[in-house]
Each structure stands twice: as structure tokens, then as C-alpha cells.
Amino acid sequence: MGRGYIVEESVEKYLTNLSAAAGSCETGLFIGQCSAQRDFVVLAVQTPHRETEGATEGKRTPSSLDSIDVEWVAEHARQVSRMLPGGVSILGLFLIAPPEVSKEAQNTLKKFVFAVDKSLSKNKLWDLSEDDVTERITLHICSKTRKAICRTFDVKDPKCSAKPADWRYQSGISSSWPLITCNVQLDLQIPVTSENVDGSIKDQLRTWAKQIEAALCLINGKAVTDDSELLSGPKKGTKASQQQSFKAQILVSAEDTDASQMSSAVVHECSGSVCVRGTVHCRAYIHTNKPKTRHAAQALKRDVMNTVFSRVEMLLEDLLMSEGDLACGQQDLPRRVFAPIFGSGLSVCDYIFPDESTADVAERFKEMLGFDVSEREMDIGVEAPTCCSVLGVEDGCDEATDNVPMQSSAETVPKKEAAIQYAAGVVVAAAVALLATVTSLLYLTD
Amino acid sequence: MVLTDNNFIFRLKGVLDFSCQFDSFNEAHTRSSISKAFQVLRSRISSESLVFIVCNSPILLWPNKSFHSTLDSLREDTPCRDVQQHIEVEDGARKSSKKRDKKDTGPVVVNLKLLMEVTEAGNSAALSLCRVMKKQRCVTVPLCMDCVIGAGGCDALGSVCAGLVAALHAQLSDMEETLLKYKKETTFPLPQPFHFQLPESDRLLTIIYPAGVSDDQLLSVREELHRKHCLLADRPYFRRSNAFHFPGEPYKDGYLRNPHTHLTAPSIDDAKLYVVRGVYSYHHYMQDRVDDNGWGCAYRSLQTICSWFLQQGYTERSVPTHKQIQQALVDVGDKEPSFVGSRQWIGSIEVQAVLNQLLGVNSKILFVSRGSELTSKGRELANHFQTEGTPIMVGGGVLAHTILGVAWSETSGQIRFLILDPHYTGGEDLQSITDKGWCGWKGPEFWDQNAYYNLCLPQTPKII
């Protein structure tokens, strides 16, 4: 008896529809939550088809296993992982393939699992702990017979073999998962000591992340301990379908281990400094199967680290693509916006650059996660924009309305476009006029 | 702090990272940058984010957030002694502290740790990144804050916390001064706080010393301190090793300190106690993985004496090993080079020579031709402990011992000797050491009545 997976019913429907439509190979990700006992699969998302020179829909789907682009699958996983709140992660992969190649399917899936894991672990400020589950689920579905084979691979062990798993559908599994939130302040002064600005920033973020990891966490005012349970008290009275929400506080202390060993601090030459400052909104969800407070705290802390790292990385990627260097002066990092996953209690997130609109975000949700979010459903108010970025958003809106037809047809790497938009946004000249528009819009919506 | 039961020491520790950027060759700018960076730290400890956690307890306190605490029962006006009942004591520690309750009448130390809350209720400015390009120099110094304040059990918790915040501010200013004074072109020393208990004083004085600068180099600082606190320049008070030892804080080297303080004094009519001043550690057979059973007793007694000089601040030299002691005797020409590494005994005269060679300490030798005569040396011994206060090594015809004090009646001449026996071969178990008399009060019959004895009485140098 292998690892147990509780899978949201809508995932079954999604896979059925997908395999019915697919004449050839399709891949995708499973998203959900790990726990010591079993994993919960909440969502399945198909790997978007990579754009090749203007070919029509459906024609470019890979016809053989070899033609599936592993790097593309891994890149999709990386993009998707940025959109997941704390406690929610990529649990595995599915592969829909014709019966001719079914013999090769397991090996291919194993290759994918490791490629995805490699891609994801590069983008983390934290390391897996002892209790982290390292088994990843794979589902191989025969496109003809619809027969599904469920196996797990242990990403800790490159020589691992496929193990059977217990895959069971259930409805509404995540509808009442408790939500833990907090707003975390950052004020990092980073001296740039090397040639490489990115390196200096990332090093400092790693130091900061260690502090967060080691921090004391309070949930609803109570310190998290090793074995306290998150859900206690009059549990029987409350309806199971109600989502509870918790406020968390994070208390850090600087490391003194280094300090006790050194007698002096060395003065370094630096070419300048980078200051990362502001507040980020963080969220984590946790399953309802007797969750411990320490697991909730861990999920939230990882979200704190991920959301900061993702944003900085997005900015740096943007610059890389536009072949620009990190400019002097202040620039806003993208703000976090949330959107609910239909039929679940969970939200996913995305990041909106000052010059982007909610339409851009909706587009990315569609592209990356394959679902439609109306702008009305989006929660864009969790992080207050600065005055400057209000202008940026509005500016992006205007551009977006112009760009909508083009984007829907040809946007696969949204970041590239975002970079250009961003560059445009920086040189906004009609600030005063736009401010007027914003005010009037705000007035109207009120 | 008066050392009585109902008194408390609140000790707050934590690290604040001082980080500063400044122009390369502009001293004025450097100083103002340093002072600005300290201003940032000051505003941090004045902010609502400042949190104190009481170690081994569920208590968290927000001293600047209109006194917020995680326990409803603890409010601003709660007597600070109430904190104690929430502190979890490890089982083992509790047991032994119960046993020593009679003796340990020192203050209760409540340890706190400094934390910073990084979460906030409000929703302030979004994340932004700001880059400045300017060739500069930068430095990050971890400041290990260590503040103590004394309090009576009835003092309000709110005022204790306010006192600690004020102490943090004061300590930052002291550290700033130290940084400015001792910083070098390429390195900044770590400012380190030390707490000192002055004689006849009921409070602790905290002094910041720059790490990496030796006590010898800080002589002028100590001279100033002696003047300021009207202390005679006859003995060290402000060397690092004079720092106050907090009750309950373990000694890292594993040696027992002052086991004699756990003994009951002998009852002799009219007798007064004259015992060793300050702190020594108990050195005896088989320690440090050296099997010196049968030959090393005088070496161990000498080590105990050296540990006294070290812990009283007279020297920074660590306690010498058997080999180092032997080498010192070769160096002064007392022994042949083949002596090093041997298992030969040494006596009081050798102890005197080594103390002089290694520590620059002179010693008087007191000779008695028979053990029975020691009984009549009450006045000399009492006088020694009053003026010098050092442990005495006693050797001669037979075994070597350490005399830590005497109980002596001037009127009747009755005397008891406080003996520390280096022949103990067991572990550092205070209970069996005191129960079985390895450290204990001995009568005149302790001495071999017919053997001769040499006593080495180390004299304290007049240094600070």
C-alpha cells in the first residue's frame, strides 16, 4: 500500500475532458498540499502549448513522448509555483499518451518529476526539512482506454523506482481549509559588494530568509509550539464547511552564533546599495485533518520567503530580458493579487507590475492555470499600492485595452511583454492627466 | 542589588545588527554615518515592534505597545515576581536548586530575549526596491546587547520593561562611543558588554569593551573607572574576568567553583571565619585526561591557585598544565630539561617559583617543623586571608593540600582548617565532594603531627 492521495472530484472531470480531447500527448501538473499522512490534490493544470511560428491551435501538441519539451514543462511548473500561496505546492505530474507509447510512460514521467523538482528547488530561499514529503505523484492516462496508472517517485533518490499509490476522488476537500495570513514588513539595506548586483541581493535575501525560518510565530496571539493543534475548541459546533481564518505574527531575532566567535567586523568596499523595503501580504492554507500549528507556521513562513523572492526575481528577470541593468532610484516591485480557485476555498496569486492591469493578470491565470477569473473576483486590495504605482496600473490598463486581441493570440511568455510594458510605464509623462482619470474612476466605482 | 531572596535581576539579551555605509576617506562623514546608523537602531528599539520573550516561559511582552503581553494575567502593574511562576525549570535543575535553597540566597535571575516583530496589522506601503550607486565602504557589526536591571519583587512589570528599554538605549550609546573610539580603517571591533558588581554595592555596572583589545591595552580605561567609582588601585575590579557571574549560569570549562560555600561552618566559641576571597576552581587528580594519581597533588593545588589569579583578573594566562608547570621550572633553572614530562613531585618552593615565573606573583613561605605547630599559626593564616585572600598551598614531608580558610578564635586559640583536597579522583560531583570531606573543615589532627610542612602563601600584586 503506497502513499494515499485524496483528489478533488473536479480534477477527475478535468482529466477526462482533457484525455477526450487529446489525440496525442498532453502533460500537466497536480497542485495541492502534502501532509505526513496523505496528500491532497486540489487542482490539475495542463502544460500550455508552446507557441511556434503562428501555427494553429491543436496542431503543435506533441505526438510522441520524445517531442515533449521537458524544459518547457519545468518552466511552466516554475511559473505556476510562484502563483501558489503557502501550504500549496506542485505535487506531481500527469501524462496523457496514446497506447503505443505506454511502455515508455513511466520513464518519461520520472524524468519530468526530477526536471520539475530541479527547476523548483532553484527558486527557493529555504531548504526542505526532515518531515517534508519528497514523494511526487504521477498519473499516466492512456488516451484511448482512459486507463490511469498512479505511481510515486521519491525526488530525494535519483535511483528510485515507481511505487504504487492510492488515488481516491472526493468532493470539496479544500473548501474549509483554514487560512492563515499576515503582513510582513521588510527593510533590508543591501550593500552591493560584488560586480553582480543580483548576487548581492540574493545573498542578503538568503540571510533574511534564515531569520524568518528561525522566527517565532504566533497564531491568533498564541506562540506556536511543537505539538499544539491549530483547530481546537468548540469544533463540533462549527460547521465543517466554514473556513476559519487565523492571524499570524512573526518575531525574529538576529543570529548571535557568528557574533560570539568574531572579535571584529571587516569593512568592505561597495559600489552602492540596494534597499528592499515595504510590506508583503502572505497567506497559507492548511488541511483540516488535525493540522498542527507548527505546520501552519511553516507553510506561512515559506510563503513569506517565496513571495519576496519571486518578486525580486521577477524584477531581475524583467531587466535581463529587456537587457537593462537595475536602474538607480526607487522602483516598485510587483504587487500581489489573489484569485479564488473555483469550487475550492483556496486562492492562487499573481504579481502585478505597476504598468500592468488586472486584465494582464487574468490573462496569466488563464495561461498558466487554465481558468477564467473575472476582474471582479480578483482580490487586488491586499497590498496597498504606492501613489506612483496607482498611476502605473492605470497606465497599464490603457495599454492593455489596446493590446487585448494581440495578447490573447500570442502571449506565451507574459513576462517578456510585461518587461516592455514596464519599460514603457517608467517613462509615463502624462502623470497629471492620469491622476485625474484615476480619481474620477475611483469616485465612480465607489 | 541586595543579595536577598526577594530580589530579582532582569537580564535582556539579543543581537541588533548595526550596518552602516560611509565615504572612504571622509572622517566627518564616517562619524555622522555611524551615528545615523545607530539612530536607526534606536528608533527600532523605540518602536512597537520591540518584543521581549521571557526565556522558558510562554510570556511575550511588547514594552512599547502600550504594554501588551501574551498572558492576560500579566499587566503593566503586575508585580514582576509573578513572572517567575510561569518560568519552566528543567526537572534536574529544580531538584538541585531545592537542595541548595538554604545556601543560595542570591538574586533570582529572569532571562529575557530581544525579538523584533516583523508583522504588522496595518497595510502600509507595498514592496519597493531602491538602488543607489555610489562607491562607498560598508560594514555590518552584530551588537550583542546584554542589559541588566535589578528589581524588587513588588516592582511593576511595566516599570521593569521600561527600565530595560532605557538600558537598551543607554547601551547603544555606550557601544556607539566604543565603536567610534576603537574603529580602524579596515575593521570595526565588536563592542561587548560586561557586568561588574562593585564592592559594597547593590547594583551591577555595565561596561562596554571592544573585543580583540586586551585587558592590558585597556589599562587607562580601568584607571578612569577606578577614579570614577572611588576604588583603590590595589586590585583588579574591571578586568573582563572580574565580570559578574550570574547565578545559575553554568561554567563552560566544567570545573567546580568554590565548593566550600556549600559547607556548614564549624561551631567554635568566639571563632571568626577567615576564608579565601573571590572565586577559584577545584583542580584535582585525573582531570583534563591526565592520570596524575599519586604524584600530581601539588600541581593540582598550584592549578587551583592559578585559577584564582585568573578569575580575580590578575592574569589573562590560562591555568597551566602539568607540562607547562614543569617547563616553567626548567626555565627558571630549578630543574633539568628531563624533568618535563616526568612524574616527579613538586613542593611548596616549586609552587612559589612557578607562580613567580608564570604569573609574576610573589609568595611567602611559612615553615613549620612539625604538623602540631600549625595549630599555633592561626593569627598568621587569618591575617593572610584578610589581606591577600589567596588559597594557600601546603606541602612538605607528606601530601600536598590547599588551605582555603580558617575558623579561629583569638581568645581560645581554637582553630579549624578549611581544606581542599587535590587527591580526589572522582567526577565533578559537588554532593560527594562535600559529603566525603574532599572539601571540608578539618581539625588540628588533620596534620601529621610529626612531619614538617611548607606553606606557600601567594601575595597579590597591586595592579588593576
- Is the pLDDT at A418 greater than 70? The verdict is no
- Residue A265 Cα, gap to closest chain B Cα (Å): 5
Cα–Cα dist A22/A215, whole Å = 48
Q: Which of B79, B83, B40, B44 is nearest to B61 (CA)?
A: B83
Long-range contacts of A426-430, Cβ-Cβ distance < 8 Å, separation of 24 or more: A426/A327, A426/A331, A426/A355, A428/A355, A428/A391, A428/A392, A428/A395
Give CATH 3.90.70.130 domain extents, chain B.
Answer: 259-458
Mean pLDDT of all residues belonging to chain B = 89
Task: Measure the CA–CA gap between A155 and B387, rounded to whole angstroms.
Answer: 73
Specify the pLDDT at position B202.
Answer: 76
Q: Which residues, 6 or more positions from B258, have their beta carbon under 8 angstroms from its beta carbon?
A: B279, B280
The amino acid at residue A146 is: R
Give the other-Cβ count within 10 Å of A19's Cβ: 19
Prediction pTM value: 0.82
CA-CA distance, B33 to B41, in Å (whole number)?
Answer: 13
Question: How far is the alpha carbon of B185 from chain A, nearest alpha carbon, in Å?
Answer: 8
C-beta of residue B328 within 8 angstroms of C-beta of residue B416? no
Which residues from chain A sit within 8 angstroms of residue B55, using beta carbons? Answer: none
Q: Please identify which residue in the block is written with the cell numbers 597591586.
A: B462
Give helix A197-214 / helix A293-321 axis angle, nearest 10°. 170
Region of A119 (left: φ > 0; alpha: ψ -120 to 50; beta: rest) is alpha
Chain A nearest-CA distance from B183, in A, is: 9
Chain B residues 171-210 within an 8 A CB cutoff of chain A: 185-190
HEC string of chain A equals: CCEEEEEEHHHHHHHHHHHHHCCCCEEEEEEEECCCCEEEEEEEEECCCCCCCCCCCCCCCCCCHHHCCHHHHHHHHHHHHCCCCECCEEEEEEEEECHHHHHHHHHHHHHHHHHHHHHHHCCCCCCCCCCCCCEEEEEEEECCCCCEEEEEEECCCCCCCCEEEEEEEECCCCCCCCEEEEEEEEEEEEEECCCCHHHHHHHHHHHHHHHHHHCEEEECCEECCCCCECCCCCCCCCCCCCCCEEEEEEEECCCCHHHHHCCEEECEEEEEEEEEEEEEEEEEECCCCCCEHHHHHHHHHHHHHHHHHHHHHHHHHHHHHCCCCCCCEEEECCEEEEEECCCCCCEEEEEECCCCCHHHHHHHHHHHHCCCCCCCCCECCCCCCCHHHHHHHHHHHHHHHHHHHHHHHHCCCHHHHHHHHHHHHHCCCCHHHHHHHHHHHHHHHC
What pLDDT is recorded for position A258?
63
pLDDT band, very low/low/confident/very high, at A408 (cuts 50, 70, 90): very low
- Using alpha carbons only, give the angle A37, A347, A77 rounded to the nearest 5 degrees: 70
pLDDT at A406: 34
A&B contacts, CB < 8 Å: 203
Mean pLDDT along residues A392-408: 33
Closest CA of chain A from B218, distance in Å: 16
Is it the case that residue A427 has pLDDT exceeding 70? Answer: no
A261 touches chain B (CB under 8 A): no
From residue B147, give the alpha-carbon distance in Å to each of A81, A163, B205. Answer: 45, 57, 10
pLDDT of A128 > 80? The answer is yes
Query: Biggest alpha carbon distance in chain B?
Result: 89
Q: Which residues of B touch A269 (CB under 8 A)?
A: 24, 135-137
Average pLDDT over residues A156-169: 92
Check whether B325 has a pLDDT greater than 60: yes
pLDDT at A256: 63
The answer to whether A69 and A103 are in contact (CB under 8 A) is no
- Tell me whether B412 touches chain A (CB under 8 Å): no
Q: Crossing angle for the helix pair B322-331 and B297-311, nearest 10 degrees?
A: 90
Residue B431: which pLDDT band, with cuts at 50, 70 and 90?
very high
Residue boundaries of the structural domains of chain A: 3-170, 179-443
Read off the pLDDT band of B268 (50, 70, 90). confident
Three-state SS string across B380-411, please?
HHHHHHHHCCCCEEEEECCCCEEEEEEEECCC
Least Cα separation, residue B217 to chain A (angstroms): 15
Give contacts of B 199-258 with A, CB under 8 A.
211-212
Q: How much is the pLDDT for B90? A: 61
Nearest to B229 by CA among B212, B261, B207: B207
Nearest C-alpha neighbor of B292 from the set B329, B346, B252: B346
Nearest residue in B to A224, CA atom: B58
Stretch (H or E) spanning B278: none
Q: What is the per-residue DSSP string for B22-81?
A: E-SS-HHHHHHHHHHHHHHHHHHHHSTTEEEEETTSS-EEETTSSSEESSTT--TTSBGG
Q: How far apart are CA A290 and CA B323, in angstroms?
A: 63
The answer as to CATH 1.10.10.10 being correct for domain A3-170 is: no
In chain B, what are the helix, strand and coil shares in percent, each to the nearest 5? 35, 25, 40
Q: Which residues of B touch A254 (CB under 8 A)?
A: 14-17, 142
* pLDDT over 90 at B318, yes or no: yes
Proportion of chain A above pLDDT 90, given as a percent = 46
Which residues does A261 contact at the CB level (< 8 Å), separation at least 6? none
Q: How far is B366 from chain A (nearest CA, A)?
A: 45
Q: Helix or strand or coil: residue B432?
A: helix
Return the C-alpha cell found at A140.
499516466
| Number of residues in chain A | 446
pLDDT of B348: 93
Query: Quick one: pLDDT at residue B341?
Result: 92
The full DSSP string for B200-235 is T-SSEEEEEEETTS-TGGGHHHHHHHHHHTT--TTS
Mutate to test the interface with A, among B127, B128, B186, B252 (most CBs of A within 10 A): B127
In this structure, the number of other CB atoms found within 10 A of the CB of residue A281 comes to: 24
- Mutation choice for B interface testing from A225, A246, A264 by most B CBs within 10 A: A264
Strands A89-97 and A135-142: parallel
Q: Which of A222, A251, A264 sits opposite B211 (nearest CB)?
A: A264
Structure-model confidence comparison of residues A328 and B221, the more confident one: B221
Q: What average pLDDT does this structure show over B367-389?
A: 93
Report the residue of chain B nearest A276, measured CA to CA.
B129
Q: Look at B25 and B22; give whichever has higher pLDDT.
A: B22
pLDDT tens per residue across span A246-287:
999 999 998 766 666 788 899 989 988 999 999 999 999 999
Which triple of cell numbers denotes residue B344?
616527579
Comparing alpha-carbon positions, the chain A residue that sits nearest to B136 is A270
SS3 state at B415: strand
Hey, is the C-beta of B19 within 8 angstroms of any chain A C-beta?
yes
Q: How confident is the model at residue B250 (pLDDT cuts 50, 70, 90)?
A: confident
* Cα A210 to Cα A224: distance, rounded to the nearest angstrom: 18
* A interface test, pick of B113, B123, B129 with most A CB neighbours within 10 Å: B129
Q: Is A171 on the interface with B (CB under 8 A)?
A: no
pLDDT cut 70: percent of chain A above it: 79
Integer Cα distance of A85 and A348 in angstroms:
6
Closest CA to A65 of A93, A30, A100: A100
Residue B406 has pLDDT above 50, yes or no: yes
Cα separation, A55 vs A49, whole angstroms: 11
User: What's B355's DSSP letter?
Assistant: I
Give me the residue from B53, B118, B141 closest to A265, CB to CB: B141
CA atoms within 13 A on the CB side of A256: 16
The answer to whether the CB atoms of B137 and A186 lie below 8 A apart is: no
The half-sphere exposure of B408 on its side-chain side, counting CA atoms within 13 A, is 22
Nearest to B127 among A186, A215, A267 (CB): A186
Q: Which residue of B has its CA nearest to A333?
A: B128
Instruction: Establish if A444 touches chain B: CB-CB under 8 angstroms.
Output: no
Mark which residues 275-304 of A lie under 8 Å from B by CB.
275-281
| B274 closest CA partner among B77, B416, B373 | B416
Cβ-defined contact of B136 to A216 (cutoff 8 Å): no
Alpha-carbon distance of A110 to B2, in angstroms, equals: 71
**In angstroms, rounded to a whole number, what is the distance separating the alpha carbons of residues B193 and B147?**
8
Encode pLDDT of B108-161 as tens digits: 899 999 999 999 876 678 889 998 888 889 999 999 999 999 898 889 999 999
Cell 585526561 locates to: B289
pLDDT digit string (tens) for A290-307? 889 999 999 999 999 999
Report CB contact under 8 Å: B139, A330: no
Q: What 3-state DSSP class applies to B326? A: helix
Tens digits of residue pLDDT in A47-89? 998 765 444 444 455 667 777 889 999 999 999 999 999 999 9
Candidate from A12-26, B150-164, B173-187, B319-333 with smallest mean pLDDT? A12-26
* B47: contact with A, CB 8 A cutoff: no
Nearest residue in A to B192, CA atom: A263
Confidence band, pLDDT 50/70/90 cuts, at residue B279: very high
Q: Do A218 and B70 touch (CB under 8 A)?
A: yes
What does each C-alpha distance from A106 to A110, A136, B361 come to in angstroms?
6, 13, 81
Q: Which of A223, A248, A386 sits opposite B119 (nearest CB)?
A: A248
Give the model's confidence band at A237: pLDDT under 50 very low, under 70 low, under 90 confident, else very high: very low
Grid coordinates in use for A280?
508583503
**Which site among A185, A222, A271, A301 would you substitute to test the B interface, given the most B Cβ atoms closer than 10 Å to its Cβ?**
A185
- What pLDDT score was predicted for residue B198? 86
Question: Can you tell me the distance from the alpha carbon of A200 to that of A191, in angstroms, rounded to the nearest whole number?
Answer: 7
Compare CB distances from B212 to A255, A263, A386 and report the shortest one's residue: A263
Q: What is the mean pLDDT of residues A2-9?
A: 92
**The three grid cell numbers given for residue B31, joined into one nine-digit string:** 562619524
Instruction: Please tell me the predicted confidence (pLDDT) of residue B100.
Output: 41
> Which CATH architecture is the domain B259-458 placed in?
Alpha-Beta Complex (3.90)
Q: Between residues A233 and B246, which one has the greater pLDDT?
A: B246
Mean pLDDT throughout A308-328?
85
pLDDT attached to residue A61: 56
Least-confidence region, from A97-101, B90-94, B164-168, B376-380: B90-94
Q: Would you state the pLDDT for residue A434?
A: 42
Give contacts of B24 with chain A, Cβ < 8 Å: 269
Mean predicted confidence (pLDDT) in B282-303: 94
Which residue of chain A comes nearest to B51, CA vs CA?
A: A251
Determine which of A4-8, A406-410, B417-421 has the lowest per-residue pLDDT on average. A406-410
Query: Which pLDDT score is estimated for A386?
Result: 57
In sequence order, what are the residues at sequence separation of 6 or more whose Cβ sits closer than 8 angstroms to the Cβ of residue B366? B377, B380, B454, B455, B457
Residues ≥6 apart with Cβ < 8 Å to A320: none
Q: What amino acid positions of B are annotated as catalytic residues?
A: 297, 421, 423
Question: To the nearest whole number, what is the mean pLDDT of chain A?
Answer: 81
Indicate if the pLDDT at residue B417 is higher than 70.
yes
For residue B144, the chain A residues in CB contact (below 8 A) are: 256, 259-260
Are A185 and B141 in contact (CB < 8 Å)?
Answer: no
Q: How confident is the model at residue A233 (pLDDT cuts 50, 70, 90)?
A: low
